[in-house]
């Protein structure tokens, strides 16, 4: 490729924001941070890169930009914040008593096929609640998520709640080979009841478990789905426990006035190697994919030597910005006009500009002939 | 609020028309050249069959009707709540009649196909290396011309394969028409989506 052409070009997957667009993004970020601070979370600014093996699991390693450091160690640009925060909470903050509440806001980098709201460089705002009473933490995180969306003036948003324990509980004691398990997971995720039946054909599973798995395709809707779910998984204690956890959290949120924002989706079975409990996503009219989500991951911190249960939530700033643009809500407030300061004499012009700045005015400094 | 449905005028059109008619749902006249047609509570988009999953995944359409073969190739993240039963076909590996099976012969299989992703996955999962020649159509002539050793393509009756001197050697997947639904629409417009899914499901019973 010709060098001059390359210099003008921008690599695929990265973005550049100027002026009003940048202001919109900062405003979204400040709104979210305001909510995180309001719930007494502390900011953490983790490193931009770390050893590559910090970021394993959740098929992240395949999407990581990694490189070799000067000392030969394999490093990676952060593809997410959660692993880094878990490492820091287990290491540097190991003497800090649980629960630990942390929030972050910044870019992550992943190899992604370019799609709407899915560049290689993503801006994430989120928080992690480490330790503490798990049900209280789950409910707190969901409440904070709802407050963020309210304050961002996202209309019609829905928090869809699932629990990976329903799926794993129904499969407890079974011994499906990995390819079949992946096929089954994929069909549950697609809500394809016939596909689930085909994936289970000939598998050594109890009748209760098979019919329960098939029902996962249709166990989605309002919170009343949990009643139906309790009947479906009644014969399977681990799955019934999961449904009970969901019920505890959903009833608490309902009593707190968030009932109309909740939906249940028991076919939500992504990230099974990572999530261990409640999982949720945020959807809103105007955007075909989620604007954020999160869930409980009780085994990650043990990897770093401090077994603590944990739950987290993340909003994608790029997606929030896209959603708000599509929903055409409130316009961005205009900036106060700048006062022009020009004078023939440079020294006196600077003095005048400084005096105006000291009073808090916005100034545009220039010489005569500037516009 | 109304629902937007993405459809193609390809091979699934008549089956879709028939299903909607039986379900008592509005459906555009097949003669229309308009690409966006609103009828009552439904808005229809006519797009290329391979683009249906894209429109639905991005949420430009809330629902769509697409073949499982197309969905497998697209790998889109959409819900597939209903197998609509029509448009049945199979994705198969076919090779020239009398040629040796690929599994123990050449180290690399050269395969011509309109389904590069499905074909690659199929051979790699069997531990074979594969060179995919991606074509837009007339895939059946590729082996005879020396462009590939075999093809991965859909068959309904098998006649095209036979007339081009090919025989099926392996099934890759079964396909039929599916109702697909966008994830966000499923939850954010639950009432409308459920009504459509239930109406179609009742009709299929």
The answer on B39 and B15 residing in a single domain is yes
Q: With a cut of 60, say whether residue A369 has pLDDT above it.
A: no
Q: Give the model's pLDDT for residue A315.
A: 97
For chain A, the distance separating the N- and C-terminal CA atoms, rounded to the nearest angstrom, is 40
Residue B60 sits in the same domain as residue B123 = no
Query: Hey, are the CB atoms on B190 and A156 less than 8 Å from each other?
Result: no
| Domain match, B131 and B181 both | no
pLDDT in the model for residue A111: 85
Q: Which of B114, B130, B36 is nearest to B73 (CA)?
A: B114
Contact call for residues A19 and A27 (beta carbons, < 8 A): no
**H or E stretch at A364:** strand A363-365
Helices (H), strands (E): how many in chain A? 13, 14
Report helix, strand or coil for A219. coil
- pLDDT for A187: 94
- Is any Cβ of chain B less than 8 angstroms from the Cβ of A195? yes
**How sure is the predictor about B117, in pLDDT bands with cuts at 50, 70 and 90?**
very high
Q: Do A290 and B78 touch (CB under 8 A)?
A: no
CA pair distance A329, A327, nearest whole angstrom? 6
What does the pLDDT look like over A185-227, one tens digit per residue? 999 999 999 999 999 988 888 888 899 999 999 999 998 999 9
| Number of other residues whose CB lies within 10 A of the CB of residue A347 | 8
Kindly give, in sequence order, each residue whose CB lies less than 8 Å from that of residue B11, ignoring residues fewer than 6 positions away.
B49, B67, B87
Answer yes or no: is pLDDT of A274 > 70.
yes
Residue of B80, B185, B193, B204 to mutate for A, most A C-beta atoms under 10 A: B80
Stretch A329-341: mean pLDDT: 83
Of residues A309 and A112, more confidently modeled: A309
User: Coil, strand, or helix at residue B99?
Assistant: coil
Is the pLDDT assigned to residue A139 strictly greater than 80? yes
Q: B18 pLDDT exceeds 60? A: yes
Give the mean pLDDT of A22-51. 96
For residues B204 and B95, the answer to whether their CB atoms sit within 8 Å is: no
Q: Which of B65, B69, B41, B68 is nearest to B55 (CA)?
A: B65
Indicate if B49 and B120 belong to the same structural domain.
no
- Integer Cα distance of A155 and A328 in angstroms: 10
Number of domains in chain B: 2
Domains defined along chain A, listed by start: 11-177+218-327 (3.30.930.10), 337-371 (no CATH)
CB atoms within 10 A of CB A203: 17
Query: Looking at CA atoms only, how far is residue B81 from chain A in angstroms?
Result: 5
* Residue B192 forms contact with A (CB below 8 Å): no
- Which 58-87 residues of chain B touch chain A by CB within 8 A? 58-60, 77-81, 83
Query: Residue A213: which of A242, A174, A184, A190 has the closest Cα?
Result: A184
pLDDT of the residue at B105:
61
Whether the link from the prior residue into A129 is cis, omega within 30° of 0, is no
Instruction: Tell me the per-residue pLDDT of A291-333, one tens digit each, with 9 for 90 and over.
Output: 999 999 999 999 999 999 999 999 999 999 999 999 987 788 8
Tell me the torsion sign for CA atoms B164, B169, B171, B172: negative
Q: Does B183 touch chain A (CB under 8 A)?
A: yes
Whether B124 and chain A come into contact, CB under 8 Å, resolves to no
Task: Tell me what the pLDDT averaged over chain B comes to.
Answer: 90
Minimal-distance CA residue of chain A relative to B59? A288
Its domain, for residue B117, covers 89-173
Segment B136-159, tens digit of pLDDT? 988 999 998 989 999 999 998 888
A1 to chain B nearest CA, in Å? 25
Q: For the residues B164-177, what does the mean pLDDT come to? A: 92
Please tell me whether residues B72 and B112 are part of one structural domain. Answer: no
Angle, CA of A287, A290 and A295, to the nearest 5°: 165
Q: Give the CATH number, domain containing residue B188.
A: 3.40.190.10
Q: How many helices (H) and strands (E) does chain B have?
A: 7, 11
Q: What is the mean pLDDT of residues B77-96?
A: 94
Q: How far is B138 from chain A (nearest CA, A)?
A: 29
pLDDT mean over A136-141: 97
> Domain check: are B59 and B111 in the same one?
no
Question: In terms of CA atoms, which chain A residue is nearest residue B3?
Answer: A285
Are residues B138 and B154 part of one domain?
yes
User: Measuring CA to CA, which residue among A118, A126, A115 is closest to residue A85?
Assistant: A126
Q: How confident is the model at residue B99 (pLDDT cuts 50, 70, 90)?
A: confident
Q: Which of A113, A154, A161, A192 to mutate to test the interface with B (most CBs of B within 10 A)?
A: A192
Beta-carbon separation of B187 and A217 below 8 A: no
Q: What backbone phi and psi angles, to 5 degrees, belong to A62?
A: -70, -15
For strand A74-77 and strand A262-265, is the pairing parallel, antiparallel, or unpaired? unpaired
DSSP assignments along A13-31, one per residue: T-----THHHHHHHHHHHH
Mean pLDDT to the nearest integer, A347-358 = 91
d(CA A87, CA B153): 48
- Nearest residue of B to residue A191 by CA position? B81
CA distance A146 to chain B (A): 15
Bridge partner residues of A340 (DSSP): A364
Tell me the shortest Cα–Cα distance from B185 to chain A, in angstroms: 7
Phi/psi-derived region of residue A171, left when phi > 0, alpha when psi is between -120 and 50, beta in every other case: alpha
Q: Which of B187, B190, B195, B196 to mutate to test the interface with A (most CBs of A within 10 A)?
A: B187
Residue A2 confidence class, pLDDT cut points 50, 70, 90: low
Place of tokens 């945020």: A282
Which residue's structure tokens are 């309210």?
A150
Q: Looking at residue A115, what DSSP letter applies?
A: B
pLDDT digits (tens, 9 = 90+) for A141-177: 999 999 999 999 999 999 999 999 999 999 988 888 8
Shared domain check, B83 and B13: yes
Region A328-349: what's the mean pLDDT? Answer: 83
Q: Does A250 touch chain B (CB under 8 A)?
A: no
Q: What is the pLDDT of residue A58?
A: 56
Global pTM value: 0.90
Is pLDDT at A32 greater than 60 in this prediction? yes
Helix (H) or strand (E) holding B151: strand B150-155
Note whether B55 and B109 are same-domain residues.
Answer: no
Same domain, B165 and B105: yes
pLDDT score of A204: 85
Give me the residue from A193, A195, A284 closest to B188, CB to CB.
A284
Q: Could you tell me where the DSSP H helices lie in A254-341?
A: 300-303, 317-327
Task: Say whether both B163 and B144 belong to one domain.
Answer: yes
Do residues B138 and B41 both lie within one domain? no
């Amino acid at each position: 490729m010709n060098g001059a052409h390359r210099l003008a070009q921008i690599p695929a997957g990265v973005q550049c924001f100027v002026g009003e667009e940048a202001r919109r993004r900062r405003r979204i970020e400040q709104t979210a941070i305001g909510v995180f601070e309001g719930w007494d979370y502390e900011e953490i600014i983790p490193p931009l890169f770390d050893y590559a093996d910090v970021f394993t699991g959740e098929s992240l390693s395949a999407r990581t930009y990694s490189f070799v450091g000067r000392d030969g160690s394999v490093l990676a640009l952060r593809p997410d914040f959660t692993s880094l925060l878990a490492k820091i909470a287990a290491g540097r903050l190991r003497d800090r008593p649980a629960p630990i509440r942390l929030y972050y806001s910044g870019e992550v980098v992943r190899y992604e096929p370019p799609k709407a709201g899915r560049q290689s460089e993503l801006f994430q705002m989120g928080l992690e609640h480490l330790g503490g009473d798990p049900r209280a933490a789950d409910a707190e995180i969901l409440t904070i998520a709802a407050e963020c969306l309210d304050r961002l003036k996202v209309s019609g948003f829905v928090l869809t709640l699932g629990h990976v324990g329903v799926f794993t509980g129904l499969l407890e004691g079974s011994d499906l080979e990995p390819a079949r398990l992946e096929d089954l997971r994929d069909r549950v995720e697609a809500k394809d009841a016939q596909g689930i039946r085909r994936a289970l054909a000939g598998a050594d599973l109890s009748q209760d478990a098979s019919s329960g798995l098939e029902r996962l395709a249709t166990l989605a809707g309002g919170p009343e789905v949990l009643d139906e779910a309790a009947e479906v998984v009644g014969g399977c204690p681990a799955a019934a426990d999961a449904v009970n956890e969901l019920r505890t959290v959903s009833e608490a949120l309902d009593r707190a006035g968030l009932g109309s924002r909740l939906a249940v989706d028991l076919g939500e079975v992504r990230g099974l190697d990572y999530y261990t409990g409640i999982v949720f996503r945020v959807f809103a009219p105007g955007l075909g994919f989620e604007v954020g989500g999160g869930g409980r991951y009780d085994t990650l911190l043990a990897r770093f030597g401090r077994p603590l249960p944990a739950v987290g939530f993340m909003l994608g700033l790029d997606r929030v910005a896209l959603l708000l643009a599509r929903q055409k809500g409130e316009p961005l407030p205009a900036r106060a006009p700048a006062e022009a300061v020009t004078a023939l004499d440079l020294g006196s012009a600077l003095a005048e500009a400084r005096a105006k700045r000291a009073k808090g005015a916005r100034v545009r400094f220039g010489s005569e002939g500037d516009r | 609020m109304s629902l937007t449905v993405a459809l193609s005028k390809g091979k699934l059109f008549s089956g879709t028309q028939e299903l909607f008619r039986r379900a008592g749902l509005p459906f555009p006249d097949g003669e229309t050249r308009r690409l966006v047609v609103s009828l009552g509570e439904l808005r229809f988009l006519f797009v290329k069959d391979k683009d249906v999953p894209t429109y639905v995944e991005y949420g430009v359409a809330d629902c769509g009707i697409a073949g499982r073969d197309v969905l497998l190739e697209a790998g889109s993240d959409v819900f597939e709540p209903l197998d609509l039963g029509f448009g049945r076909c199979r994705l198969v590996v076919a090779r020239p009649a009398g040629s040796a099976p690929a599994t123990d012969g050449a180290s690399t299989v050269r395969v011509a196909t309109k389904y590069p992703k499905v074909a690659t996955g199929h051979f790699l999962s069997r531990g074979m290396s594969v060179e995919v020649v991606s074509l837009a159509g007339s895939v059946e002539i590729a082996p005879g011309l020396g462009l590939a050793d075999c093809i991965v393509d859909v068959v309904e009756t098998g006649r095209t394969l036979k007339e081009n001197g090919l025989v099926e050697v392996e099934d890759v997947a079964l396909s039929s028409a599916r109702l697909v639904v966008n994830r966000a629409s499923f939850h954010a417009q639950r009432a409308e989506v459920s009504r459509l899914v239930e109406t179609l499901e009742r009709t299929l019973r």
